Structure 1
């Protein structure tokens, strides 16, 4: 009798935890999420174009674009494609093309990063931000406002820290454009 009670308690506990759990695994493709949910806490695989509201965990794009409103964790592009976050990304976006239109807290690693506000690091061949970035490392970095830029060509309207590169341009810089190093007046 004791074993039956213990087994029943364990089964009830497991059933209740599954009943209230978020979606742990999702597959996304054009106009379809399986299972149909707007939030994933676990792993999502996206092929061609997958879109969901929120991912907490790992968002993997095999081919094409993975799109979310909010991502906490890892955006990973395995083959050719892009990671797009519309509102907020916390963690690491690692792919060919990272497109974050909201706030990013963490790191964007890729061939090209197009961002808005980044509290962290953009590291790619081309970094473009229409907002504020903490640090940009790449061949070309263009931003509205930045703390640190390191690359061959760096351009910002407002530099708070330093630019290091072959050509460094800042509207508020010690010099408008200067080789090797430039900093705020």
Structure 2
């Protein structure tokens, strides 16, 4: 009787694992209200037209003439054909878009005309970078970080807290390191406004 129960359990587990694998597809075409094949998990290649939405992608994600939306993306997102990337929860890899809109944790590299990110471990590279926190670097014409940015390189840099800023105009409330630029403003700087270089009062 015990052996029979073990066999039934083994077959049930095998069936569930096969169902999970079957639900994961190697390629998908996604557009408004349609995924073909109908799956929320892609392990391979996904192409979105206008607006494609699915839960997770591992591999290569591409959008044209619209928005690719996923909850979790691991791999490469390429959306330069008038496409944009929206990641709701977690991203790791490299994203190349006209517009990156990432609401969760990012690990890797984001390149766009505009990056609108939340938490980044890596590099944001864009004309405009807007973020909550960056454990890495912002590189762009305008960089704006609501909380901590380790490093900013741009024409205009603002971060509430920063370790290093290099640009024409640098602004921070809490400087933990060094500012180099034409004009530097730091609430806790050795002087609040200085040309060329500024540093923390107790540096």
Aligning the two structures, in what range does the TM-score lie when normalised by the shorter sequence?
Answer: 0.7 to 0.9
Deviation at 1:63, TM superposition (A): 1.4
Deviation at 1:181, TM superposition (A): 4.8
Cα deviation, 1:55-95, whole Å, max 9, x if unaligned, reads 00000001100000000001101311210000000000101
Deviation at 1:111, TM superposition (A): 0.5
Matched, 1:126 2:128: yes
Cα deviation, 1:95-142, whole Å, max 9, x if unaligned, reads 100010100000000110000000000000000002344210000000
> TM-score with structure 2 length normalisation?
0.77
Pairing of 1:23-172 with structure 2 (within 5 A): 23-144=25-146, 145-159=148-162, 161-172=163-174
Task: Give the aligned length.
Answer: 169
SS of aligned partner of 2:117: strand
Measured on the aligned residues, the alpha-carbon RMSD in Å equals 2.1
Please say if residues 80 and 96 of structure 2, whose CA atoms lie closer than 8 Å, have aligned partners that are also in contact: no
Q: Which runs of 5+ in 2 are unaligned?
A: 1-17, 179-184, 187-192
Q: Which runs of 5+ in 1 are unaligned?
A: 1-16
> TM-score with structure 1 length normalisation?
0.84
Please say if residues 122 and 134 of structure 2, whose CA atoms lie closer than 8 Å, have aligned partners that are also in contact: no
Per the alignment, residue 21 of structure 2 pairs with: 20
